[in-house]
Amino acid sequence: MKKVKKLVIGNWKQNPSTHTDASEIFKGIAKKAHTFTNVTTVVCPPFVFIDKLSAGYSGSSIYFGGQDVSFEKSGAHTGEISAAQLYSIGCDYVIIGHSERRAAGERDESVNKKIKIALEHKLTPVVCIGESERDSHGKYLSHLRNQIAKALKGVKEKDVLQVVIAYEPIWAIGKTGKDAITPQKLHETSLFIRRVLLETFSKKVGMSVTILYGGSVKPMNARELLEEGEVSGFLVGGASLDAGQFISILETAHNI
């Protein structure tokens, strides 16, 4: 049976503190990433490190992504980074609407604008959704439905097909491998996300959009989450800062 190519993205968040350390982590990942041909590997370092890392990288098996993007094209927006700027320093991906940005004030409306501007500039938007808690009445499902509808409002069907949805339940982020979602719950949630996409757009969108999982993905749980969770890969936080752990996750994804 032909294996489906996986997508594994490392989100370094606000780490590490120096370019020297960033370069060390990157070199460690780059040493092996090219051998995992069944995986598309992406790293999203802090903005300030991307240019030097991508310029100094002679391989072609690792893609770069930003952790956020401005919804404005250019102009007087102090502190913002545009989609064109990300693209110009070698980014192909950008994380949009991460829960940590939402906690810092990001709204669904700006997530929507950011997705549109990223698509205009040939960046693949990695759109994060996720509930803060799982209530027994299933309210979290309407929360997810709402986040998807607002994020993708007005995005054309052909463009939605380029979007990656990263399902990151907030309660599972930054914990140990034992605290991640169970493969069974992930499977159900992934099917739910597909159903919402199908109802909102089309069968084709529902069936083909790439869905990732994020939230305490570690070498110890990567296999079961991928085998039984009905996702095409991961958005990895903490473990992506440790080249050994990240490589182990890439290797697992490559072998499934």
> Which are the catalytic amino acids?
98, 168
3-class state of residue 7 by DSSP: strand
Matching residue, tokens 């604008």: 113
The answer to whether 189 contacts ligand 13P (rule: CB under 6 A) is no
CB–CB of 239/220 below 8 Å? Answer: no
Cβ partners under 8 Å of residue 206, min gap 6: 194, 195, 197, 198, 199
For 245, phi then psi, to 5°, come to -70, -40
Cβ partners under 8 Å of residue 85, min gap 6: none
The pattern of x and - marking residues 109 through 148 that bind ligand 13P according to CB under 6 A reads ----------------------------------------
Report in angstroms how near the CB of residue 9 gets to ligand 13P at its nearest.
Answer: 8
Q: Which is nearer to ligand 13P, 122 or 175 (CB)?
A: 175
CA separation for the pair 105, 99 (Å, rounded)? 10
CA separation for the pair 80, 75 (Å, rounded)? 9
- DSSP assignment, residue 213? E
Report in angstroms how near the CB of residue 239 gets to ligand 13P at its nearest.
Answer: 6
CA separation for the pair 186, 167 (Å, rounded)? 9
> Side chain identity at 34, as an amino acid letter?
H
Report in angstroms how near the CB of residue 208 gets to ligand 13P at its nearest.
Answer: 23
Q: Which is nearer to ligand 13P, 172 or 205 (CB)?
A: 172
Q: Which is nearer to ligand 13P, 75 or 105 (CB)?
A: 105
The answer to whether 221 contacts ligand 13P (rule: CB under 6 A) is no
Q: Containing H/E element for 91?
A: strand 91-96
The answer to whether 235 contacts ligand 13P (rule: CB under 6 A) is yes
The answer to whether 183 contacts ligand 13P (rule: CB under 6 A) is no
CB–CB of 226/255 below 8 Å? Answer: no
**Rule CB under 6 A: which of 8-37 touch ligand 13P?**
11
Report in angstroms how near the CB of residue 48 gets to ligand 13P at its nearest.
Answer: 18
Q: Which is nearer to ligand 13P, 183 or 238 (CB)?
A: 238
3-class state of residue 167 by DSSP: strand
Using CB under 6 A, pick the residue from 45, 169, 215, 233 that binds ligand 13P. 215
Which stretch, 31-39, 141-149, 204-212, 214-222, contacts ligand 13P (CB under 6 A)? 214-222
List of residues contacting ligand 13P (CB under 6 A)? 11, 98, 168, 173-174, 214-217, 235-239
